[in-house]
Amino acid sequence: MNNLSYLAKITNVDGDKVTLQLKESLNIERLKTIFDGYDGERQAEIFIKDPREFTAQQRRFTYALLQDIYTYTGEPVESLKDVFYWQFRYLTGKDISLSNQSINTVDDVAMLDELILDFIFSNDIPFREGYEIPPQNTQYYFYKCVTTRTCCICGKKNADIDHFDKALGRRKRKEIDHTGFTFAALCRQHHTEKHQMGIARFKNKYHVIGVKLNQEQITKLRIGGR
């Protein structure tokens, strides 16, 4: 962890107010340094750790991803596991295993799968239709599809970035706040299918979710037409 990351115990939850007890001393001098002369809101990001053992669905997803890399590159699955296990160990200082005797958690395997997904999207690895995506990786998967313009259903490149849950209608792209919308990357075939069958039936068939983007990401993807 860096010197602004802390492990804490949740001691109370009251609506949107969460009380934490840090397991180590707060670095006050460091906080004084970063906030010196800053008049904005002081913010912290909370990551809730999931202590449960990883699931069978997560194991299937990991091996499905590795199998797609093997199919494209010819690199054996066991060799691929060694590479990604090493990356996980380098980042966390912990070992990881998908065996039945493993003590790794839901969060551990979710992080491993994000490393594998990063490799797949960075190297344009074709992936199969119909991934059974664990809930821990759903948001990240659909986010990566949008930011790389990869169809989240079939993996085709140069996909359309669709205003997914709520259409623009007759509003002009350059005159609205796109941060209030959700987005999904769909190839032209699946984009057309969505509009033909309607959002509810499309979601039920493909289990696609829309993801939010900040203004920087929207500008980079040229969603606003600028």
Question: Per residue, what are the HEC states of 31-95?
Answer: HHHHHCCCCCCCCCCCCCCCCCECCHHHHHHHHHHHHHHHHHHCCCHHHHHHHHHHHHHHHHCCC
What pLDDT is attached to residue 161? 92
Predicted confidence (pLDDT) at residue 202 exceeds the cutoff of 80? yes
Q: Residues 148, 121: contact at Cβ < 8 Å?
A: yes
- Give the tens place of pLDDT for each residue, 16-59: 888 888 777 777 777 777 777 787 787 776 766 667 789 999 99
**Percent of the chain predicted with pLDDT > 90:** 58
Q: Please give the helix or strand (H or E) that residue 14 lies within, else none.
A: strand 8-14
- Give the tens place of pLDDT for each residue, 87-123: 999 999 999 999 989 999 999 999 999 999 999 999 9
What pLDDT is attached to residue 180? 84
- Render 136-155 in DSSP notation, one character per residue: HHHHHHHHHHHHTTB-TTT-
What pLDDT is attached to residue 39? 79
What pLDDT is attached to residue 1? 43
Q: Which residue has the higher pLDDT, 210 or 50?
A: 210
State the chain's mean pLDDT as an integer. 87
Q: Residues 49, 25: contact at Cβ < 8 Å?
A: no
Predicted confidence (pLDDT) at residue 174 exceeds the cutoff of 50? yes
Confidence of residue 135 (pLDDT cuts 50, 70, 90): very high
